[in-house]
Structure 1
Amino acid sequence: MRIYLMVIIFFFSIIMKVEGEGLNQLDFKFYVIPTAGPEHVDFEIVIKNDEDIPLHFEFPTSQIMELTVLDSIGKEVYVYSKGRYFLQAFQTVTIEPHQTYKRIEKWDYLYKGKRVSQGEYTVKASLLPTSLNGEPVKDRSRLISIQKMIVPEENPVFRHIEKEGNKGSYMITGEARTGNGMFYYTVEDGHVEFMKEKQYVTEGESMSWVPFKIHIQIPQEKLPSHGSLILHLYERSKENKIIHTYPVILEEFE
């Protein structure tokens, strides 16, 4: 009898917790992680549920968040929702206890058809639920994440780089515009060099954009157990110094 009573009290306390806690009491984290690459930035949207109960975020449309990028003088150079259409129907995102919701959006650094200048930018991410676990959302201070990011200078030698493959076998395609008809590449993880420097001779005239394709093959047993496997494309100057480096993440290991 005492065991049944304890079970009833336990579940009753959970119900009271769900009904009684508002946005400020529920334990969750929302943030954005911008990762700026040579040709685009990845915005990783993260909602982490630190509660012992599921969290149900309800949205009035299929747009669950907004992303805005501001330049150094506060001018908007990117708005995620601009030019997009969203389903006009309620959507619910449920995150189970101690689980994390992740989503990645990309921006190609273009503003009015032109690439933005190199420099520091501010990223503002806003989560847009109207209710959380059935309670209206009034305080939105915890639903906003602001981060800084650096947009790199445009690479003059490599562009339109794409990567396919995994588990040690990768195909990289793109375009190169070299000064002497060749470039170089290596593969490493920040600690170990998995492929020593190799030379690639491009077809076509120097200083013209020409397509290229590289196949990278690394035995699976030699792959790192954690971290990132990175391909570096680059030129060498007349003084034999590495210039115009373009990093490509081949695979991430956890």
Structure 2
Amino acid sequence: MLHLLLSAILATNFLPQQSEMEANNHMDIQFEVQAVSEEKLVLTFTVHNQTNELVELQFNSSQKYDYEVLDEHGKVIYRYSDGKAFLQMIQTENLSAGEKKEWKSTWDYQTANENTLNPGSYKVEAKFLGQVIKPEGMEINQTSQTTFMYGKDQLFNNITVEGKDGFYHIKGHYKGQLPVMYSVEDGHFLLIKEKPVQVNKDGDFNIAVKVKEEDLPKNGSLIAYLSEKGSKGTPIILQSF
């Protein structure tokens, strides 16, 4: 019995955990949002047919996607569809094998709720509104999220976060030259002490983060901090609870 228990523990701890990002990468059609923070926020929504077949997508209106911008506390400060009218007519889009389609949206920071946007880290939660109608059985992830910084020097950009409930992947690009570190906290307690980040020669990085289930906050946000060694970290929202 003890041998079986130890085997189960080892399997739980050492077998690869499938993150949301990994699951999305194995979807037939992948939906992704990316953010670039400039004078305005520029969002790119991409749908990628990762199969060898022609795919037909159907939309119930002219709206292809929706998204919300949330602050560090999980409060929605902007919703794309609010106050907009869309043509209520069924529309279709075809994606050839391997084809990608992109839509772009620009958000003026001045239109945030209460017309104020404090410097810091923000999250974009996007939803794809299309459905696969041909061929049957195709899988598509309907949601994607990313984070962006407002009002601060952009050492880290193109940040995307995938995952939930303790398992996350942080991808992005670093423009500096110093060693990069990351840590995780919940606003009250340090959950993961500083660890080094592997940055490739092009400045890209991909961090796998695991937080124990008992350490997840019951209410609030789980925040990772990216930093150059010895400097103050840049907050990245992993998940709001």
The normalised TM-score by structure 2 is 0.48
Whose relative contact order is higher, 1 or 2, with alpha carbons under 8 Å and at least 6 apart? 2
The normalised TM-score by structure 1 is 0.46
Higher gyration radius (CA)? 1
